């Protein structure tokens, strides 16, 4: 059994013997490895103020219970974006017993950078040389034993999709963790070194760190903290500054005396600073920062460039020299997957293919989703609905209370599942396939320039298109974006994308009664709004769009098991988030309808609905109910029109002209789609931003609807 030498107990550790963290970039098979290790026992954890999640699960190695923490995929630990920040805080706060860094054997040099960062910071580390089978096919031969000797850590070749080498990898991680327990004095030893001038400075600063701060090195080794301060990492500079009582202490600066631009500023809302307030008043911080300043100026004077850039250059250079030393090219062989990469990224062939893939995704979601939705609704109506209604009537009788309650467990749950199973589950399966095949890299590459005009980058295309099926999974899909600014822009635009439910309203209310040309007009206006709103948000929201930095990987055949597990994990999150909200919203709307209070809203809404939009009052009332599910807008419009105007109102042209139907569908399409979308917006972006998006889209819908009404009147 392991020794009792764990770090502080926290929410990631539980009752496990060891905790290992999985780190690596998003495209090295990290998810496949995590799924292969853990199966289905996954839970998620959020850091305060963050929307990027980490996955936590357990597995077994003999008699040991191992906790695995799947950190967000990232290329570095600079804390520039939220995924980098969460990955780093998962290490600093979680205090794993070992970090398993997953390397891409087909691109070793690029992947060694973050591994070197982890070794610099003093984390106990094991390397998984993944995609080793792919590397052999490409003629890349890597001497993993030699790489292990150079790095001073175990290096295990693996093929995550087939489970090869995973038991050896876990055993190696357990051995490293146990050795750290038995020999804690080896915790801070670094085997790899940069240039002699850099190393001399780091050694001296590390001695100053131990002398001035003692054990308060904020979760990293003294040498690691010295390097972070030289790199002007704002998070750690601020923590060191807080260790000093001296007022007005300047931060690390360049040779000119002006503060250097930090490559690692933590995002706003960082709780790490608050957790270390108690360190204020400790001596040593000001003196240490002054020594860092002097050392930084000396390095800049010698090399003619800023110290942070010099250290980054040294680390990249060391990664390249290590890769060159341990690998050789046995033969040149372009795989079919590599040829596919060239085919999908060349504009002449890639753009038509992208249009075809996006069309397939939309058609699959719309056609298959619609079929599954209708089938599920019919099955629900024939089986569960009578049982639920019978049980409610048996307990509460036939009165108003029973009718209100039926809106919840019957209509509410059916509404959530009728969207979730046909559209959300289907989309997640398609998304997982596109992710694991590597095609999303090509999509991002092709669309990056256009999306930058909207404040986004190429990775946002798939969620935007997926919004045409259902906005809920599309918004969750914005997690592939790196900053909250980008996710805010993308989520706002997704809310404007007509989902299948709103498309049903457009086709049923406009095309069905007024004509297809009116329906095309709705789609055209909404498309223009999406582009204009994207341009506007890009200019209004503070910050800039991040560059698209990513590796281009050859295509590979996805594992059906991996896709199924990933799909289920994501779908399970949707069910737990959306169902309670839809259930509560259904009960509220049922209360308003069954008690007749809904009609009391007609008078307050009259200035907007009748005066500004030119619609009959009954149409405005149905827009309130449409927040539950947008396709209910058309169904309720017919139902409530018959109640108010008589049977002839089932033909909407008897109470509304084509222009009014156009305005009605336009307003219904633009404002925030449904309570499930609102719930997911709150979970992903926070309730303040969710409320802002709801308010903005509602106001936009009313504004555009009123303008459209007046234009129609003007042109007759």
DSSP secondary structure string for all residues of 171-188:
HHHHHHHHHHHH-GGGTT
179 and 250 part of one domain:
no
| pLDDT over 50 at 258, yes or no | no
pLDDT of residue 14: 61
Judge whether 216 lies within some domain: yes
Residue 549 CA to residue 570 CA, distance in Å, equals 25
| pLDDT over 60 at 226, yes or no | yes
Please indicate whether residue 65 or residue 272 has the higher confidence score (pLDDT): 65
Structure tokens at 159: 């093929």
DSSP helix/strand/coil, 99? strand
Beta strands (DSSP E) in 363-491 are: none
Confidence of residue 303 (pLDDT cuts 50, 70, 90): confident
Judge whether 505 lies within some domain: yes
* Residue whose entry in the numeric block shows the structure tokens 């998006």: 693
DSSP helix/strand/coil, 46? strand
| Closest residue by Cα to residue 486 from 550, 540, 544, 443 | 544
* Class of residue 581 by CB neighbours under 10 A (exposed 0-12, middle 13-18, buried 19+): buried
Confidence of residue 612 (pLDDT cuts 50, 70, 90): very high
| pLDDT over 50 at 268, yes or no | no
83 and 118 part of one domain:
yes
pLDDT of residue 84: 77
Mean of pLDDT values over 698-714: 93
250 and 287 part of one domain:
yes
pLDDT of residue 708: 94
317 and 357 part of one domain:
no
Taking residue 638's Cβ as centre, other Cβ atoms within 10 Å add up to: 17
646 and 498 part of one domain:
yes
Confidence of residue 280 (pLDDT cuts 50, 70, 90): very low
205 and 178 part of one domain:
no
Backbone torsions φ then ψ of 603, nearest 5 degrees: -65, -50
Chain-centroid distance of CA 671 in Å reads 24
Judge whether 534 lies within some domain: yes
Confidence of residue 186 (pLDDT cuts 50, 70, 90): low
Which DSSP helix (H) or strand (E) runs through 56?
Answer: strand 53-61
Q: Which domain holds residue 298?
A: 196-328
Mean of the per-residue pLDDT values of the chain: 78
Percentage, residues of the chain above pLDDT 90: 18
Residue 460 near residue 356 (C-beta atoms within 8 A): no
Mean of pLDDT values over 413-437: 73
Residue 54 near residue 44 (C-beta atoms within 8 A): yes
Question: What would the pLDDT profile of 329-351 be if each residue is shown by its tens digit?
Answer: 876 666 666 677 777 777 888 88
Residue 478 near residue 460 (C-beta atoms within 8 A): yes
Give the CATH number of the domain where residue 66 resides: 3.40.50.300
Confidence of residue 279 (pLDDT cuts 50, 70, 90): very low
| pLDDT over 90 at 439, yes or no | no
Confidence of residue 261 (pLDDT cuts 50, 70, 90): very low
Confidence of residue 4 (pLDDT cuts 50, 70, 90): very low
| Residue where a domain terminates, one of 151, 186, 221 | 186
pLDDT of residue 45: 44
Judge whether 598 lies within some domain: yes
pLDDT of residue 697: 94
| Residue where a domain terminates, one of 165, 186, 207 | 186
Backbone torsions φ then ψ of 130, nearest 5 degrees: -85, 170
173 and 227 part of one domain:
no
Judge whether 383 lies within some domain: no
Chain-centroid distance of CA 618 in Å reads 40
pLDDT of residue 221: 87
Mean of pLDDT values over 621-627: 78
Please indicate whether residue 235 or residue 255 has the higher confidence score (pLDDT): 235
Residue-by-residue DSSP string for 564-609: HHHHHHHHHHHHHHHHHHHHHHHHHHHHHHHTTGGGGGHHHHHIII
220 and 360 part of one domain:
no
Which of 7-21, 244-258, 519-533 bottoms out in mean pLDDT, i.e. has the lowest? 244-258
Judge whether 620 lies within some domain: yes
| pLDDT over 50 at 270, yes or no | no
Judge whether 215 lies within some domain: yes
Residue 424 CA to residue 419 CA, distance in Å, equals 7
Judge whether 9 lies within some domain: no
* Most confidently predicted of 139-153, 332-346, 433-447: 139-153
505 and 467 part of one domain:
yes
705 and 592 part of one domain:
yes
Residue 116 CA to residue 95 CA, distance in Å, equals 18
Residue 622 near residue 408 (C-beta atoms within 8 A): no
Residue 185 near residue 5 (C-beta atoms within 8 A): no
143 and 216 part of one domain:
no
Confidence of residue 70 (pLDDT cuts 50, 70, 90): confident
DSSP helix/strand/coil, 140? strand
590 and 639 part of one domain:
yes
Residue 176 near residue 154 (C-beta atoms within 8 A): yes
Taking residue 601's Cβ as centre, other Cβ atoms within 10 Å add up to: 15
Residue-by-residue DSSP string for 391-428: HHHHHHTTSHHHHHHHIIIIIIHHHHHHHIIIIIIHHH
Chain-centroid distance of CA 590 in Å reads 34
Domain count of the chain?
3
Whole-model pTM over 0.75: no
Query: In angstroms, what CA-CA distances link 186 with 5, 181, 198, 234, 503?
Result: 14, 10, 22, 28, 63
Residue 656 near residue 550 (C-beta atoms within 8 A): no
Confidence of residue 531 (pLDDT cuts 50, 70, 90): very high
| Residue where a domain terminates, one of 328, 359, 384 | 328
């Amino acid at each position: 059994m392991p020794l009792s030498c764990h770090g502080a107990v926290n929410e990631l550790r539980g009752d496990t013997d060891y905790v290992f963290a999985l780190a690596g970039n998003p495209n090295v098979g990290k998810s496949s490895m995590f799924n292969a290790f853990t199966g289905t026992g996954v839970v998620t954890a959020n850091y305060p103020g963050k929307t990027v999640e980490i996955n936590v699960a357990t597995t077994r190695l003999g008699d040991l219970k191992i906790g695995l923490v799947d950190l967000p995929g990232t290329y570095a630990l600079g804390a520039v974006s939220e995924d980098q920040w969460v990955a780093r805080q998962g290490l600093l706060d979680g205090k794993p017993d070992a970090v398993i860094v997953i390397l891409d054997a087909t691109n070793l040099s690029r992947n060694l950078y973050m591994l070197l960062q982890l070794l610099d910071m003093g984390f106990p580390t094991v390397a998984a040389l993944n995609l080793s089978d792919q590397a052999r096919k490409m003629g890349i031969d890597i001497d993993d034993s030699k790489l292990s000797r150079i790095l001073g850590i175990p290096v295990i070749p693996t093929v995550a999709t087939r489970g090869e080498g995973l038991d050896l990898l876990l055993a190696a991680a357990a051995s490293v963790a146990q050795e750290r327990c038995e020999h804690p004095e080896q915790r801070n030893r670094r085997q790899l070194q940069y240039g002699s001038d850099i190393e001399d400075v780091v050694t001296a600063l590390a001695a100053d760190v131990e002398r001035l701060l003692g054990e308060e090195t904020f979760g990293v080794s003294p040498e690691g903290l010295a390097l972070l301060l030289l790199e002007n990492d704002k998070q750690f500079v601020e923590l060191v500054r807080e260790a000093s009582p001296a007022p007005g202490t300047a931060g690390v600066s360049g040779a000119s005396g002006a503060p250097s631009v930090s490559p690692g500023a933590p995002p706003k809302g960082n709780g790490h600073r608050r957790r270390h307030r108690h360190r204020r008043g400790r001596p040593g911080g000001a003196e240490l920062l002054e020594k860092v300043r002097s050392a930084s100026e000396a390095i800049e004077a010698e090399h003619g460039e800023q110290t942070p850039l010099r250290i980054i250059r040294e680390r990249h250079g060391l990664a390249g020299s290590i890769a060159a030393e341990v690998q050789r090219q046995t033969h040149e062989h372009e795989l079919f997957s590599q040829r596919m990469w060239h085919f999908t990224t060349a504009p002449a062939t890639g753009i038509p293919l992208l249009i075809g893939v996006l069309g397939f995704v939309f058609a699959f979601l719309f056609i298959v989703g619609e079929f599954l939705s209708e089938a599920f609704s019919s099955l629900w109506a024939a089986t569960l609905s009578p049982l639920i209604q019978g049980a409610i009537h048996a307990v509460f009788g036939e009165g108003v209370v029973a009718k209100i309650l039926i809106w919840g467990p019957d209509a509410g749950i059916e509404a959530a599942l009728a969207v979730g199973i046909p559209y959300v589950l289907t989309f997640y399966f398609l998304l997982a396939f596109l992710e694991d095949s590597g095609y999303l890299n090509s999509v991002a590459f092709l669309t990056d320039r256009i999306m930058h005009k909207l404040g986004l980058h190429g990775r946002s295309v798939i969620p935007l298109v997926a919004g045409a099926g259902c906005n809920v999974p599309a918004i969750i899909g914005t997690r592939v974006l790196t900053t909250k600014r980008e996710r805010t822009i993308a989520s706002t635009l997704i809310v404007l994308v007509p989902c299948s439910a709103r498309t049903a309203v457009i086709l049923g209310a406009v095309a069905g009664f007024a004509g297809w040309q009116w329906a095309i007009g709705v789609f055209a206006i909404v498309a223009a709004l999406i582009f204009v709103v994207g341009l506007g948000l890009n200019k209004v929201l503070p910050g800039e769009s991040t560059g698209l930095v990513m590796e281009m990987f050859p295509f590979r055949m996805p594992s059906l098991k991996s896709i199924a597990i990933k799909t289920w994990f994501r779908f399970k999150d949707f069910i737990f988030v959306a169902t309670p909200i839809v259930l509560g919203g259904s009960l509220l709307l049922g209360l308003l309808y069954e008690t007749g209070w809904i009609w009391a809203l007609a008078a307050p809404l009259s200035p907007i609905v009748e005066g500004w939009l030119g619609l009959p009052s009954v149409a405005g009332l149905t827009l309130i109910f449409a927040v539950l599910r947008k396709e209910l807008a058309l169904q309720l419009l017919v139902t409530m029109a018959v109640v108010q105007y008589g049977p002839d109102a089932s033909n909407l042209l008897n109470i509304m002209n084509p222009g009014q139907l156009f305005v009605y569908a336009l307003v219904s399409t633009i404002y925030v789609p449904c309570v499930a979308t609102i719930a997911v917006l709150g979970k992903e972006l926070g309730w303040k931003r969710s409320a802002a998006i709801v308010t903005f889209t509602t106001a936009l819908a009313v504004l555009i609807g009123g303008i459209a009404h007046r234009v129609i009147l003007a042109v007759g």
